[in-house]
A and B are shown apart, each in its own frame.
Chain A
Amino acid sequence: MNRKENLVMEKGSRMSFVLNNKPISLHVDPSKRLVDILRNNLQLTGTKISCEIGRCGACMVLIDGKAQNSCLTMAFQCEGKHVETIEGISENNVDPIQEAFLEEGGFQCGYCTPGMVISLKALLNENTDPSMDDLKEGLTGNLCRCTGYGGIHRVLQRFCATEECNK
């Protein structure tokens, strides 16, 4: 294989990654932001856009199971990885995390909610017995302007494994 070709990805290079458990291959600019690929190329608009500098969490996705801001992630950084969006999580059924948001009033306008769900999902992937502090720490990258985190605290109580939460 010609080394040079392997080395440099031109505009409109073919990018391959796994999106919501399905392999996908796209012609995109390798520096294109993942959030734009999802929203504009693929119409997966459950991933939201708000601050564009990773400070609000509205665009959160899972990359290889870990939370990552899709506004800070470029196409080439997804190559060969597993990307999961809110649509992927919602594919089969409402996840227990989503159920908790519904039942506890964990959202109002809903614009931050997909990102919140993703971040909590990522945390619970890694930590099966989280304390309330672990759970809150897991959501520090997600801003909510509507709820004042009241309903979100009630959501977290449900996933908290320590004694403080078993009142």
Chain B
Amino acid sequence: MEAMQRSYKAQKVIDRMAKKLNRQIAGSLAACVHCGMCTESCHYVLANPGDPTYAPAYKADRVRKIFKRHFDWTGRVIPWWVKADSVYTDEELEELKDIAFGKCTNCRRCSLNCPMGVDFAVVNRMTRGLLVHVGIMPKGVAVVSKDQWEIGNQMGVLKEDYLDTIQWMSEELVDTLGDPGAAIPIDKNGCAVMYTINPREVKYDPRTISDAAKIFYAAEESWTMPSEGWDMTNFGLFSGDDELGGAVARRVFEKAAEIRAKCVVMSECGHGYRSTRCEGQNWAGMDVQFEMESSVVTMLRYLRDGRIKVDRSKNTLPVTYHDSCNNARSCGMFEEPRELLGLVAADFREMYPNRAENYCCTGGGGAMSMSEYTPQRLKSAKVKADQLRATGAKVVVTSCHNCVDGLTDLIRHYKLDMKVTQLVNLVADALVVEKRVAVPVPKAVPVAALAGRTILVIDDEPDVRAFLTAVLEDNGAKVVTAADGDEGLALARKEKPDLVTLDISMPGKDGGKVFEAMRRDPDLRSIRVCVITGRPELRKLIYERPVPPPEGYLDKPVSEETLLTNVRKILEVAGDQKAH
């Protein structure tokens, strides 16, 4: 066999496996004794009783043989006994793809019954990652991964479109509630909650966004949505690509740190919750200082603390709850959604089996984006359809967007008379919003709002200096300017400004160095700093420094209004702190 020529991709897969094996994966590959306890737990097996190729142990053996052959001593000594074998051709890799992506949703139900502690899903995820590494993956996975790498979210939503949509929801909510205070804040600093979502909400169905906003409003929460890093979903979990997983999670974490959010709340998305809260820090190789929670927990907290009131007679249809594999089996969120559901819906009916033992929605693991496997996916959904039908409920509630789609698809296929919804919708429908006295929103910046303030503008571009100077002077500030870092530091010492606007990318001493020098200098330490840069990727030059972060941060081009609002805010907060 060894004389057989191995394809370039097959060799790469073996090389990559050497790097990706960790204790958990190696343990799962080594420990299987082929007892068959896992077989009946898999929804694919249940739908294909005569076909052994769907059994978790069989699927794992396609990878296990490679592991045994190349990485386990038993495979070197007694390969015929342990069924060790290598992989040689691209066709074999294609077959592996059809197993890893098409015959398993990584739901981990099979891991519950294994007496040896084998977690087939970690093996399957690694296999997906090895194949993705050599470019073998379903088209849907490739398209989405590319959008997440390049545009920063899985549906390629551009920043202006995202902001425009949030603005739209914000205006509608303000109209409905008749209170300008119900507007959705963007990038507000120091909030208790930074709310992150799944791109499908903003691209196709933003009703969940306005429902969440209504709940935050009713709870009088200090909250914001971020202008970037708002996509908490992560195709790295599905594709097995840890690098993608890390890059996506990092975007959320960096934004939360930048705006100093105390807690990142995630909308109801199972894989996003698991990726961001449980796996993200490992993939991204970073620790975070803020809390992370599912919006289910947040909403329940509001109810327990009496911050919101609900009337559950608004939701009278019989409801059942579907546990998403990532929320429940992988992250242990079982009781919170049930308690919440009991508070907002009048007629709750349990589904059996449930909690950790619940069956997959059959659309998990990215399956909804792989049309080529749809027929076998829908066939495997029979057990789920039976389970749903037996509840007698008219509404199935789930805290996962993927489950929403998987369930919607199978409900249609098996002609069940049910709707799918999420907790946020039910809570918002049952919400009793008390009429609040509208607080007048401050009018536009009055003239001479900056009277008596000295502001130092440090920027190497003459046009930018001229623009900032004009806007700030028009509003009453005394402005001094510097064209590079050294001149800026000298002027800061001489003029003792109230605020410095600081460019990052400059010849000579860059903004990052100027910033750190200011923070380390006892005389300059208390001067407020607002970074203004056209290159957001450089912000880490500022935030990674071991000194307190800047008070403000703006992207170029900056509008007159944004500049003034932010400068005023920074100076007013400074004033408040000095007064105390």
Q: Do A and B come from one complex?
A: no
